[in-house]
């Protein structure tokens, strides 16, 4: 498959790099891959193209080395990316702060601004920047575009975006609710409208992005009016390793009474909490097996997860007033039928019903899991952040 007009989508994490070469119009994927444990001696890179999967256990000291190795894989498949006529390199950037709310062609000024707002996302934005620099160096003639995870939520109503804290402090430090996973919420809500064959401006929906990270959003006529993640991706739902909502007093207590440093609390809440903190495991498949084997910790972790999810569904039902669709997406949302059933159990009164037979069907297509005649369409809609980034990148470079 030719790479002419395709977009190379890069998602650079602190020690990983995911990439996909995709045609923005057709959605055809030419290749994808992932480099893991970058900077570690035991790094590896896996590349999938032409129906073949190749893994290379090779030292990748930095993101530049990972991209170089990916380019070699492409070369071995007959694609020289530097002169293949790519439309763009599309970068996922986690935090756009108050500066960025549209896909943005990357220039030195844009890089400087992403750097300036990096304190808002110290774990994510610096890694994204490393990926941007490396790609610009290795593919200098291909335009680079940044697509921000916060962008979709830029227009959140003030009441939903504002923390009830001292206004001057909030202003000085840009403290507000930004929301994340925006590319996914945007894409999935668009797919919901397509599935229902209804203009997006006419429907109200709740999107539940349940992956290792998890977030919910309330979208009225295509515009988000609330979302569960806040200033950082730590707020909101119970996640694989993140706590989601907690009493901020708990942070103060951990510091004052338990003597934990800020970095230790950061690690505790981001990496050792959520499902993993509750039962030692963050993969839903394993947790489900453990529950079936009678594991009480796994059961409690599941119950806390569902309790929080239902709390957000309830809040968004009230905020939206009328809900036409509820969509489940991402790893857990697309695959864990029990989560979908339990999240919406007992809501028949609101026109929300999950049909057990439909819910049990496994498919990679968007599908309805509520009966045809209920008021609210409950859907499973696979997300595709790479394709969404490719489309936005290609559109902005014209
Ligand atoms: P994501 O972040 O969207 O890639 O989702 C990753 C998570 O999805 C994993 O940590 C699993 O917990 C969950 N997951 C993936 N496949 C399944 C499955 N077949 N059943 C239940 N959970 C799944």
Atom number, ligand 1, closest to the C-alpha of residue 210? 3
**Whole-number Å distance between alpha carbons of 313 and 326:** 9
Q: What percent of the chain has pLDDT over 70?
A: 100
Note whether 278 and 355 are same-domain residues. yes
**Of 345, 386, 388, nearest to 30 (Cα)?**
386
User: What pLDDT is attached to residue 14?
Assistant: 83
Note whether 254 and 318 are same-domain residues. yes
Residues 333, 284 contacting (CB under 8 angstroms): no
Which of 283, 306, 384 maximizes ligand 1 atoms within 8 Å of its Cβ, making it the mutation to test the pocket? 283
Residue 398 confidence class, pLDDT cut points 50, 70, 90: confident
Distance from Cα 336 to the centre of ligand 1, integer Å: 8
Residue 157 confidence class, pLDDT cut points 50, 70, 90: very high
User: What pLDDT is attached to residue 41?
Assistant: 85
Note whether 268 and 363 are same-domain residues. yes
Residues 232, 239 contacting (CB under 8 angstroms): no
Distance from Cα 210 to the centre of ligand 1, integer Å: 8
Note whether 134 and 210 are same-domain residues. no
Query: What are the C-alpha distances in Å from 161 to residues 157, 168, 187?
Result: 6, 16, 21
Specify the residue with its C-alpha closest to ligand 1, atom 16: 331
Structural domain boundaries enclosing 47:
7-148
Expressed in angstroms, the distance from the first to the final Cα of the chain is 22
User: What pLDDT is attached to residue 123?
Assistant: 80
Residues in contact with ligand 1 by the CB-under-6-Å rule are 211-212, 240, 282-285, 330-332, 335-336
Active-site residue, from 25, 32, 83, 149: 149
Q: Is residue 180 part of a domain?
A: no
Specify the residue with its C-alpha closest to ligand 1, atom 10: 283
Specify the residue with its C-alpha closest to ligand 1, atom 19: 335
User: Structure tokens of 146?
Assistant: 């940044």
User: What pLDDT is attached to residue 323?
Assistant: 98
User: What pLDDT is attached to residue 71?
Assistant: 95
| 194 sits in which H/E element | helix 182-196
Atom number, ligand 1, closest to the C-alpha of residue 330? 3
Q: Give the mean pLDDT of 295-318.
A: 98
* Residue 149 designated active-site: yes
Specify the residue with its C-alpha closest to ligand 1, atom 9: 283
Q: Is residue 171 part of a domain?
A: no
Note whether 254 and 368 are same-domain residues. yes
Lowest mean pLDDT among 14-18, 73-77, 99-103, 203-207: 14-18
Note whether 349 and 208 are same-domain residues. yes
Q: In the listed set 130, 148, 166, which residue is the last one of a domain according to the structure?
A: 148
Q: Mind listing the pLDDT tens digit for each residue in 49-60?
A: 999 999 999 999
Which of 298, 332, 364 maximizes ligand 1 atoms within 8 Å of its Cβ, making it the mutation to test the pocket? 332
Which of 239, 302, 336, 359 maximizes ligand 1 atoms within 8 Å of its Cβ, making it the mutation to test the pocket? 336
**Of 213, 182, 215, nearest to 309 (Cα)?**
215
Distance from Cα 282 to the centre of ligand 1, integer Å: 9
Residue 67 confidence class, pLDDT cut points 50, 70, 90: very high
Buried (b) or exposed (e) across 256-273, using 16+ Cβ within 10 A?
Answer: eeeebeeeebbebbbeeb
Note whether 226 and 286 are same-domain residues. yes
Residues 16, 34 contacting (CB under 8 angstroms): yes
User: What pLDDT is attached to residue 238?
Assistant: 98
Q: In the listed set 112, 129, 148, which residue is the last one of a domain according to the structure?
A: 148
Distance from Cα 302 to the centre of ligand 1, integer Å: 14
Note whether 128 and 216 are same-domain residues. no
Does the pLDDT of residue 191 top 80, yes or no?
yes
**What burial class does residue 165 get, using C-beta atoms within 10 Å of its C-beta: 0-12 exposed, 13-18 middle, 19+ buried?**
exposed
List, in order, residues 6 or more apart from 270 with CB less than 8 Å away: 123, 234, 241, 242
Task: List, in sequence order, the alpha helices (H) in 19-124.
Answer: 63-76, 108-116
Q: Is residue 188 part of a domain?
A: no
Q: What percent of the chain has pLDDT over 90?
A: 94
Q: Mind listing the pLDDT tens digit for each residue in 85-128?
A: 999 999 999 999 999 999 999 999 999 999 999 988 888 899 99
User: What pLDDT is attached to residue 40?
Assistant: 86
User: What pLDDT is attached to residue 322?
Assistant: 97
Residues 237, 244 contacting (CB under 8 angstroms): yes
Task: Name the average pLDDT for the chain.
Answer: 96
Distance from Cα 335 to the centre of ligand 1, integer Å: 7
CATH for 26: 3.30.420.40
**Whole-number Å distance between alpha carbons of 385 and 131:** 17
Helices 248-256 and 262-271 meet at what angle, rounded to 10? 130
Residue 304 confidence class, pLDDT cut points 50, 70, 90: very high
Q: Is residue 16 part of a domain?
A: yes
Q: Is residue 394 part of a domain?
A: no
Q: Is residue 229 part of a domain?
A: yes
User: What pLDDT is attached to residue 369?
Assistant: 98
Atom number, ligand 1, closest to the C-alpha of residue 287? 12
Query: What are the C-alpha distances in Å from 227 to residues 190, 242, 244?
Result: 17, 16, 13
Specify the residue with its C-alpha closest to ligand 1, atom 23: 332
108 CB neighbour count, 10 Å cutoff: 8
**Whole-number Å distance between alpha carbons of 127 and 119:** 12
Q: Is residue 380 part of a domain?
A: yes
Does the pLDDT of residue 1 top 80, yes or no?
no
Atom number, ligand 1, closest to the C-alpha of residue 209? 3
Annotated binding site for Mg(2+), which residues?
Answer: 11, 385
Specify the residue with its C-alpha closest to ligand 1, atom 15: 331
Number of domains composing the chain: 2
Q: Is residue 183 part of a domain?
A: no
Q: Mind listing the pLDDT tens digit for each residue in 226-281?
A: 999 999 999 999 999 999 999 999 999 999 999 999 999 999 999 999 999 999 99
- Whole-model pTM above 0.85? yes
Distance from Cα 272 to the centre of ligand 1, integer Å: 18
Q: In the listed set 124, 148, 172, which residue is the last one of a domain according to the structure?
A: 148
Note whether 209 and 138 are same-domain residues. no
Q: Strand pairing partners for 204?
A: 220
**What burial class does residue 326 get, using C-beta atoms within 10 Å of its C-beta: 0-12 exposed, 13-18 middle, 19+ buried?**
buried
Note whether 269 and 370 are same-domain residues. yes
Atom number, ligand 1, closest to the C-alpha of residue 283? 12
Note whether 229 and 363 are same-domain residues. yes
Long-range contacts of 69-73 (CB under 8 A, 24+ apart): 69/35, 69/45, 70/17, 70/19, 70/33, 70/35, 70/45, 71/138, 73/31, 73/33, 73/45, 73/47, 73/49
Rounded to the nearest 10°, the torsion over CA 45, 51, 52, 55 is 20
Note whether 210 and 357 are same-domain residues. yes
């Amino acid at each position: 498959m030719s790479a002419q007009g395709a977009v190379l989508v890069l998602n650079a994490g602190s020690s990983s790099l995911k990439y996909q070469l995709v045609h923005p119009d057709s959605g055809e994927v030419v290749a994808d891959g992932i480099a893991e444990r970058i900077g570690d001696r035991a790094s590896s890179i896996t590349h999938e193209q032409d129906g073949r999967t190749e893994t290379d256990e090779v030292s990748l000291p930095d993101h530049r080395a990972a991209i170089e190795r990916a380019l070699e894989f492409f070369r071995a498949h007959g694609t020289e990316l530097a002169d293949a006529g790519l439309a763009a390199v599309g970068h996922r950037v986690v935090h756009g702060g108050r500066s960025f709310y549209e896909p943005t062609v990357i220039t030195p000024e844009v890089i400087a601004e992403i750097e300036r707002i990096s304190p808002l996302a110290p774990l994510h934005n610096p890694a994204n920047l490393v990926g941007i620099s490396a790609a610009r160096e290795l593919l200098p003639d291909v335009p680079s575009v940044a697509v921000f995870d916060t962008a979709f939520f830029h227009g959140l109503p003030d009441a939903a975006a504002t923390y009830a804290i001292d206004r001057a402090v909030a202003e000085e430090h840009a403290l507000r609710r930004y929301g994340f996973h925006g590319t996914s919420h945007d894409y999935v809500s668009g797919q919901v409208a397509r599935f229902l064959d209804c203009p997006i401006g006419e429907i109200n929906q709740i999107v539940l992005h349940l992956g290792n990270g998890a977030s919910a959003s309330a979208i009225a006529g295509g515009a988000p009016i609330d979302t569960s993640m806040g200033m950082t991706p730590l707020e909101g739902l119970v996640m694989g390793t993140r706590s989601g909502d907690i009493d901020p007093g708990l942070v103060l207590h951990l510091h004052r009474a338990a003597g934990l440093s800020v970095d230790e609390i950061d690690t505790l809440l981001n990496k050792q909490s959520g499902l993993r903190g509750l039962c030692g495991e963050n993969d839903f498949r394993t947790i489900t097996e453990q529950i079936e084997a009678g594991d009480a910790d796994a059961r409690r972790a599941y119950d806390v997860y569902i309790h929080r999810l239902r709390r957000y569904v309830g809040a968004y039902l009230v905020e939206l007033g009328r809900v036409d669709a509820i969509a489940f997406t991402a790893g857990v949302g697309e695959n864990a039928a029990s989560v979908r059933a339990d999240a919406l159990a007992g809501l028949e009164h609101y026109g929300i019903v999950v049909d057990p037979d439909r819910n049990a069907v496994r498919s990679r297509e968007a599908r309805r899991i509520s009966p045809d005649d209920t008021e609210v369409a409950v859907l499973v809609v696979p997300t595709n952040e790479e394709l969404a980034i490719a489309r936005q990148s290609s559109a902005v470079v014209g």
